Amino acid sequence: MGDAAEEVTRTQLRRGLRIATSLVAMATVFGLGGSNILRHLEEYDSPLTQWAAFAALAAVLGGEALLIVRGRSWNRLRGPAIAVVLAASALSYVTLPDGRTSTGPDWIFGAANWAGLVVLLDRPLRSVALFLLAHELTALLNLLLLDDPSLPDMARFCTGSVTVIGFPLCVAVVASILSGLSARAAAAREEVERVRVSEAVAAESHRRRQQRFAELSVTTVPLLEGLADGSLRPEDPAVQRRCAIEAARMRRLFAEADTVANPLLHELRHCIDVADRKGVVVELDARGQWPEPPVAVRRDLTEAVLVALATAASHARVTVMGGAGLVSVSVVADCGEIDVPKPATPGVRVEALHNDDTVWMEAQWQPNRRLTS
């Protein structure tokens, strides 16, 4: 809510500055500019040309008013609009009486600058500066090439240029600062959100690891304590099998934190690695494509394979088959009689068959079946 309010405030400030600048431009063009044309109408070589330049600036300001009402900017029309303003300036100077640059009849000297400013207000400061420079050069060339200026004429031109360039440039600086502050505030807000999301993800991952470590401690800690106090003997095959099972579970736990394309196969490979280390030959066959199971479901699907692989004597085969409606993980191993793991999630079903020392176990999950706690 706070970020939304700040964004609304910044939008209102930019809109307010745009409206204020447009009002100043309209007052300058329609008020001062129009009155100067009427007052000096008889002095112009071609009054119609002056009115044409006036109409061009009026059209630009009218377009700006329409865009403000519709909440839009100039976008692709910005270039043509600036061209219209500069063309109007040049057109006005063509029929300006000799020696009257930056005087009363030169109404466009203090009008075109504001008309161009409203078009470029949301652009970088250098764009406004270049436009004001082009406008100033238009007037200066007219003064130098057509008017044969005297020293007082040049002094008058320089004095007038202070306001013609200075006031619009000050407004452009304010707009640029406001735009920069808005951009930096938006970037800071995005960075804060990114950090918050990262912290939330890290906290959730840490909580899940702690929960999983707590689950492992139920079986792992007694095993370690028994080995430490001598009540369990490392050479005992049953103890070795328990150690292998717990090692595989821990490898699976570590694999759960990895970001991979297929987490189920990734965790199965980590379980297989424990069997490989003790010399068991394991084949892995994966067929089909399936939706990514949740972590709890993956643990139930891999638990049967994990137990069989950890207790296999020489060889095992793991098969993963899946589709949109069913994911199946099965294992065949020479591991003798073992307990069939009970799934913790209702959507997972485990079956087992024993034949002498060979065991077949399969865990199935139906993705379309909704899990309940």
pLDDT of 370 over the 90 cut: no
pLDDT of 87 over the 50 cut: yes
- Round to whole Å and give the CA distance between 211 and 190: 31
Which of 299 and 367 is assigned the larger pLDDT? 299
* E-assigned strand segments in the chain: 281-288, 315-322, 327-333, 348-355, 358-365
Q: How would residue 369 be classed by pLDDT, with cut points 50, 70 and 90?
A: low
Which of 143 and 364 is assigned the larger pLDDT? 364
Which DSSP letter does residue 124 get? -
Task: Dihedral sign for Cα 218, 220, 225, 227, please.
Answer: positive
Specify the length of the chain in residues.
373
Q: Which residues contact 257 (CB under 8 A, 6 or more apart)?
A: 205, 209
pLDDT of 316 over the 70 cut: yes
pLDDT in tens, 210-250: 777 777 777 777 888 888 888 888 888 778 778 888 888 88
User: Residue 186, Cβ neighbours under 10 Å: how many?
Assistant: 14
Domains of the chain (ranges; CATH) run 2-192 (no CATH), 233-365 (3.30.565.10)
User: Residues 56-72: what's their mean pLDDT?
Assistant: 91
Element (H, E) at 255: helix 237-256
Supply the pLDDT for residue 83. 92
Supply the pLDDT for residue 4. 60
- Round to whole Å and give the CA distance between 195 and 190: 9
pLDDT of 1 over the 50 cut: no
Q: Which of 45-49, 210-214, 250-254 has the lowest mean pLDDT?
A: 210-214
pLDDT of 181 over the 60 cut: yes
Q: In what order do the strands lie in the sheet with 315-322?
A: 281-288, 315-322, 327-333, 358-365, 348-355
Supply the pLDDT for residue 175. 80
User: Residues 7-30: what's their mean pLDDT?
Assistant: 82
User: Residues 152-163: what's their mean pLDDT?
Assistant: 78
pTM of the full structure: 0.50
pLDDT of 52 over the 90 cut: yes
Supply the pLDDT for residue 56. 93
Q: What is the percent of the chain where pLDDT is above 70?
A: 92
Supply the pLDDT for residue 219. 75
User: Is residue 110 within 8 Å of 165, Cβ to Cβ?
Assistant: no
User: Residues 327-340: what's their mean pLDDT?
Assistant: 86
pLDDT of 16 over the 60 cut: yes
